[in-house]
A and B are shown apart, each in its own frame.
Chain A
């Protein structure tokens, strides 16, 4: 597991009622119980952690990050673009 993956899952785990070790990359955020306000807080935490800007609008991007793995890939891409 990469550092980014570990950090992303740790941030997601804070917002849902599933423990960190039980979260898989294939898990869907909605199945983990992530609601819209949780998602906005998750995005904020990710931006703060990685010093990046994540384009996200709660009105139109609901399916942009469907699974944990998609969040990880999006963050990896944004971190790489920053470097």
Chain B
């Protein structure tokens, strides 16, 4: 691969249950801080069976937007724009012409503006109001976060949403990576956003019977399921040459992307699909399995995912699987669904940059079906040259990104 085709990360942004900036988020991940707690966003939490979630706490939209702007922005778009602004500020890029039209905005989200949807349905069905707010549709549409970022940040190139449930952000970042690598665009703002801790959505998650009543314990014995999270994370991607020419700080290099579909069960994870996405990312990166030191796992904390992901890692890495450091940041930030892949990619970029693996917290001890090194409960300093970030979605849609230190 020529230098022209190398794709680097020059900006990161995050709005998370562990802080409203990427720096705060990463500092708390390293400390093993748990962002999971009692649900407060739902007006009637006492009516929910599910009592815990990983909420973005203390987020005041008026700190980031004018009041008249807020009426056009669902919570999910607020998170998206705030994270994008942070990533762009860190990259220190001004999107004037012609760069503006050569910059892509590719944003993953699972379900779009759920707060807007829930509020409007509550008005109609519960409060018997005859009208909803006029901007209900453009606030709740699944492309709203992508559109709002493009508008607020002045990005005029290809812009759209990517939806693949829990893998949405990873698919979005992967597409942005491919577009920058191919030369289709000169820059990309990409990531994911989700904000679906509403009464209706939580009821629907309860009905799946996969939620942990207490907390997320990925790969641990006695794990009881997943915990819903929310937030957004964004990355600025650009060609290595361009970043070097303008003297940008290079945070990491994306080197591979693998995707697959299970074509099997709607919700049950599939080892074969996972393995094909992992091997696809390695092949795209031109890496042998033993060149990877760290895996940011999908690690939802359900019995089925963690066991199946462990088997997939054994299959893809063979004897090297036992030498991998594997962690699930979902133990700290819950499962942010369409934002999860981006929050995890920020964690993976920082892990590689700082040679520091964030832990899998709430770990009680080994489950015989999960027999690898999950970096339990405390971060670990270790040399990381290359890492993978895994996302495996409902609907059997899998996406894996590979990154390395930029040399």
Contacts and interface: CB of A to CB of B under 8 A. Distances in A.
Given A37-B266, A37-B268, A57-B224, A62 B303 contact: yes
Contacts of A43: 209
Contacts of B211: 57
Given A37-B265, A37-B266, A37-B268, A59 B303 contact: yes
A2 B224 CA distance: 34
Contact of A56 (B209, B222, B265, B303): B209
B302 interface: yes
Interface in B202-231: 207-213, 222-225
User: On chain A, which size bracket covers the interface?
Assistant: 10 to 19
B219 to A, nearest CB: 13
A36 interface: yes
B267 interface: yes
B304 interface: yes
A43 B208 CA distance: 10
A63 B180 CA distance: 50
B308 to A, nearest CB: 12
A57 B225 contact: yes
A59 B223 contact: yes
B210 A59 contact: yes
A40 B266 CA distance: 13
A49 B222 CA distance: 31
Contacts of B224: 57, 59-60
Contacts of A57: 209-213, 224-225
Contacts of A83: none
A59 B208 contact: no
14 contacts: A35-B268, A36-B304, A37-B265, A56-B209, A57-B209, A57-B211, A58-B209, A58-B225, A58-B302, A59-B225, A59-B302, A59-B303, A60-B222, A60-B225
Closest 5 pairs (CB-CB, A-B): A59-B225, A59-B303, A58-B209, A40-B209, A59-B224
Interface of A: 35-37, 40, 43-44, 56-60, 62
Interface of B: 207-213, 222-225, 265-268, 302-304
Given A37-B266, A37-B267, A57-B224, 13 more contacts: A36-B304, A37-B265, A40-B209, A56-B209, A57-B212, A57-B213, A58-B209, A58-B210, A58-B303, A59-B224, A59-B225, A59-B304, A60-B222
